[in-house]
């Protein structure tokens, strides 16, 4: 039996961390007695009947060490901190919206203005009230070109946001985000924006504490400078070792949790810690498909394997403005020449689901089965289409390169399988070119990649993100791909501003059909998350919620609790 008061962890390098599992519910030094066995959490939330005592409500996982905790400026380096900073709106795993810092929201008649009512009584972990002024300051700071927020562009629907962020003549005061009073936030938009609440659930839409930022600058999240608005606050941060999160004693919102402590053990490669998991030093281990053979051969580990969908779609895209991909028959031939079942179930060992459309599983507008006909595996049809395009048996095609984005071992295997299928079914010779991350993206935004296997992970739960923002044609430097279809553009432009939900769904539905039929991209597979989860971890939701990337793919950490099985570990 492991007594949490004597628990020790080891890092990936084998150095003992000696972490004392003690719980703080005072927002102070992260150390008070945990010997009590009460039936409720520090939030006053009653633990489920099968839960271990409160002293055992500690969840341990592995993360890369954050460079900073300011999600508003950097959505990538901080990891997932939905439990520390609360956005105006939150998203359920079923993609339904739920109040966060805002208790309600409503648009005006034409959708060009939204009013958010901030919940009264909620406080930062230092005791100050969370107000509409915090959100106004945070949005304008994120858009400030001097701060260089890496996701500022997704908020360009806000009046004045593009001009201010791009430095093309706008200023902070012209940005359409206004606190009318302490509890009323008004956002003015350049066009009807039905998806604004979903967008404001994205991780970069957090509030930041102005008084801390003005005092410490971008160091406001470091150590004792950190102030939280969500249900958990930063406890102890030991660089190179771990960070803990404990209940925010001032939090009074709807997203309270069961856990008394969340512990991230730092590792540069979270997938390389299977032994740490086997030694019961962590509760969840995010797997690579490369590890599946070993997992499935082990009775205990295989029983703890959890597969669930992510919101990541892998696909091929083309430089459609150039030969040979200007011809849609060539693109269609490639789409019909790839066996997605073999790719997903054999090459990727079941860590993927066959895809025929862009929208991932879990979304209401997921039309994979309905639209599968447009890119079904049919080698005979593929060969006919390639011959009709003037390249029978692949003859006459220019030399083709398929670019990869800093691919890992599994993605290289997927690319090699696609390479072999196109050779066997179409006679096409393709060279693989694995590019460094920044080089790849620089070329992608210049539309200089001839042909590529890539992915897109849904940021927020609305079709505008996966459909319009990825595939609507734009000027060089402003979009991902050069595919142009006038009818598709018309449909998504209309859908993006349509306030009637049913009409909007119909428009996106038709746009997705055109995207699949014209083969703007060849959709291959939806990534499947693979996690080992200890039997004592309950209500672990491994499916990723848009806007909440990372954190071992837990989409609602406040619903996770530790079961009574932990008493015997």
Per residue in 532-548, pLDDT (tens digit) is 999 999 988 654 444 33
Over range 507-512, report the average pLDDT.
96
In this structure, are residues 57 and 562 in contact, taking their beta carbons and an 8 Å threshold? Answer: yes
Best CA proximity match to 218, nearest among 229, 208, 205, 228: 208
Class for the domain spanning 89-214: alpha beta
Residue 275: predicted pLDDT = 87
Q: How does residue 56 score in pLDDT terms, banded at 50, 70 and 90?
A: very high
**Full DSSP string of 197-251:** HHHTTSGGG----HHHHHHHGGGTTSGGG----SSEEEEEEETTTEEEEEE-TT-
Residue 270: predicted pLDDT = 62
Q: Mean pLDDT in the chain?
A: 87
Higher pLDDT among residues 367 and 470, named by residue = 470
Could you give the residue range(s) of every CATH 3.40.190.10 domain in the chain? Answer: 4-69+227-306+532-568
DSSP state of 447: T
Over range 285-292, report the average pLDDT.
87
Number of C-beta neighbours around residue 80 at 10 A: 23
In this structure, are residues 515 and 349 in contact, taking their beta carbons and an 8 Å threshold? Answer: no
Sort strands 430-435 and 400-405 into parallel, antiparallel or unpaired. parallel
Q: How does residue 40 score in pLDDT terms, banded at 50, 70 and 90?
A: confident
Residues 251, 199: Cα–Cα separation, whole Å: 23
Greatest distance between any 2 Cα atoms in the chain = 77
Higher pLDDT among residues 118 and 552, named by residue = 118
Q: Any idea which of 246-250, 267-271, 357-361 has the lowest mean pLDDT? A: 267-271
Number of C-beta neighbours around residue 271 at 10 A: 16
Domain 307-528: homologous superfamily in CATH: Dipeptide-binding Protein; Domain 3 (3.10.105.10)
pLDDT of residue 238 exceeding 60, the answer is yes
Look up residue 182 and give its two tokens: 């302490």
Helix, strand counts (H, E) of the chain: 16, 19
Could you give the residue range(s) of every CATH 3.10.105.10 domain in the chain? Answer: 307-528
Residue 547: predicted pLDDT = 39
In this structure, are residues 403 and 440 in contact, taking their beta carbons and an 8 Å threshold? Answer: yes
Within 13 Å of residue 468, how many CA atoms lie on the same side as its CB? 21
Residues 421, 416: Cα–Cα separation, whole Å: 9
pLDDT tens string 446-467:
999 999 999 999 888 899 999 9
Residue 63: predicted pLDDT = 85
Sort strands 561-562 and 537-538 into parallel, antiparallel or unpaired. antiparallel
* Backbone torsion region of residue 167, taken as left when φ is above 0, otherwise alpha when ψ lies between -120 and 50, otherwise beta: left
153-164 burial code (b ≥16 CB/10 A, e <16): ebbbbbbbbbbb
Residue 41: predicted pLDDT = 87
Best CA proximity match to 163, nearest among 140, 193, 191, 197: 140
Best CA proximity match to 246, nearest among 545, 49, 52, 43: 43
Helix-helix angle 409-426:328-336, to 10 degrees: 110
Look up residue 118 and give its two tokens: 């901030």
pLDDT of residue 20 exceeding 70, the answer is no
Residues 89, 464: Cα–Cα separation, whole Å: 18
* Backbone torsion region of residue 539, taken as left when φ is above 0, otherwise alpha when ψ lies between -120 and 50, otherwise beta: left
Q: What's this model's pTM, rounded to 2 decimal places?
A: 0.87
The percentage of the chain sitting over the pLDDT mark of 70, rounded to a whole number, equals 89
In this structure, are residues 201 and 208 in contact, taking their beta carbons and an 8 Å threshold? Answer: no
Could you give the residue range(s) of every CATH 3.90.76.10 domain in the chain? Answer: 89-214
Q: How does residue 272 score in pLDDT terms, banded at 50, 70 and 90?
A: low
Residues 517, 458: Cα–Cα separation, whole Å: 22
Over range 55-76, report the average pLDDT.
88
Residues 278, 507: Cα–Cα separation, whole Å: 49
For 4-69+227-306+532-568, CATH number out of 3.30.230.10, 3.40.50.720, 3.40.190.10, 3.50.50.60 equals: 3.40.190.10
With a CB cutoff of 8 Å and minimum separation 6, the contacts of 152 are 142, 143, 161, 165, 204
26-47 burial code (b ≥16 CB/10 A, e <16): ebeebeeebeeeeeebbbeeeb
Over range 419-429, report the average pLDDT.
97
Residues 89, 92: Cα–Cα separation, whole Å: 10
* Bridge partners of residue 525, in order along the sequence: 314, 354
Element (H, E) at 63: strand 58-63
DSSP state of 56: G
Over range 81-90, report the average pLDDT.
90
Residue 544: predicted pLDDT = 44
């Amino acid at each position: 039996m492991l007594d949490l008061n004597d628990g020790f962890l080891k890092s990936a390098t084998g150095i003992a961390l000696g972490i004392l599992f003690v719980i703080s519910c005072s927002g102070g030094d992260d150390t008070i007695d945990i010997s009590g066995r009460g039936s409720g959490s520090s939030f006053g939330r009653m633990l489920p009947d099968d839960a271990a005592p409160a002293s055992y409500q500690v969840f341990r996982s592995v993360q890369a060490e954050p460079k900073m905790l300011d999600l508003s400026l950097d959505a990538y380096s901080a990891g997932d901190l939905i439990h520390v900073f609360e956005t105006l709106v939150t998203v359920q795993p079923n993609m339904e919206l739920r109040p966060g810092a805002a208790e309600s929201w409503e648009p005006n008649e034409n959708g060009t203005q939204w009013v958010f009512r901030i919940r009264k009584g909620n406080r930062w972990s230092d005791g100050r009230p969370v107000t509409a002024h915090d959100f106004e300051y945070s949005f304008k700071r994120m858009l400030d070109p001097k701060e260089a927020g890496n996701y500022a562009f997704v908020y360009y629907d806000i009046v004045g946001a593009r001009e201010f962020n791009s430095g093309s003549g706008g200023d902070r005061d012209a940005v359409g985000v206004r606190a009318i009073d302490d509890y009323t936030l008004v956002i003015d938009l350049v066009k009807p924006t039905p998806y604004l609440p979903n967008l404001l659930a994205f991780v970069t839409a957090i509030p930041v504490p102005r008084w801390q930022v003005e005092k410490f600058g971008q160091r406001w999240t470091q150590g004792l400078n950190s102030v939280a608005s969500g249900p958990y606050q930063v406890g102890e941060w030991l660089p190179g070792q771990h960070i803990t999160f404990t209940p925010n004693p001032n939090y009074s919102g709807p997203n309270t949790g069961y856990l008394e402590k969340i512990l991230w053990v730092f590792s540069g490669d979270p997938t390389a810690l299977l032994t740490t998991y086997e030694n019961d030093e962590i509760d969840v281990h995010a797997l690579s498909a490369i590890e599946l053979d070993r997992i499935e051969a082990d009775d205990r580990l295989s029983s703890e394997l959890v597969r669930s969908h992510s919101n990541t779609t892998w696909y091929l895209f083309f430089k459609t403005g150039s030969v040979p991909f200007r011809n849609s028959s060539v693109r269609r031939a490639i789409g019909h020449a790839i066996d997605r079942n073999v790719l997903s179930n054999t090459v990727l060992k079941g860590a993927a689901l066959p895809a025929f459309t862009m929208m991932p599983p879990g979304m209401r507008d997921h039309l994979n089965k309905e639209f599968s006909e447009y890119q079904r595996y049919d080698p005979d049809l593929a060969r006919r289409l390639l011959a009709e395009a003037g390249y029978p048996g692949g003859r006459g095609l220019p030399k083709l390169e398929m670019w990869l984005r800093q691919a890992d071992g599994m993605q290289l295997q997927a690319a090699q399988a696609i390479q072999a299928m196109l050779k066997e079914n179409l006679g096409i010779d393709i060279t693989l070119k694995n590019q460094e991350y920044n080089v790849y993206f620089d070329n992608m935004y210049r539309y200089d990649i001839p042909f590529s296997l890539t992915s897109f992970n849904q940021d927020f739960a609305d079709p505008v993100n996966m459909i319009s923002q990825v595939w609507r044609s734009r000027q060089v430097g402003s979009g991902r791909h050069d595919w142009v279809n006038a009818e598709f553009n018309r449909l998504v432009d209309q859908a993006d501003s349509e306030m009637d939900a049913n009409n909007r769904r119909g428009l996106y539905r038709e746009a997705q059909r055109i995207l699949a039929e014209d083969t703007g991209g060849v959709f291959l597979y939806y990534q499947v998350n693979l996690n080992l989860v200890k039997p004592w971890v309950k209500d672990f939701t491994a499916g990723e919620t848009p806007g909440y990337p990372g954190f071992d793919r837990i989409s609602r950490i406040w619903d996770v609790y530790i079961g009574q099985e932990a008493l015997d570990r």
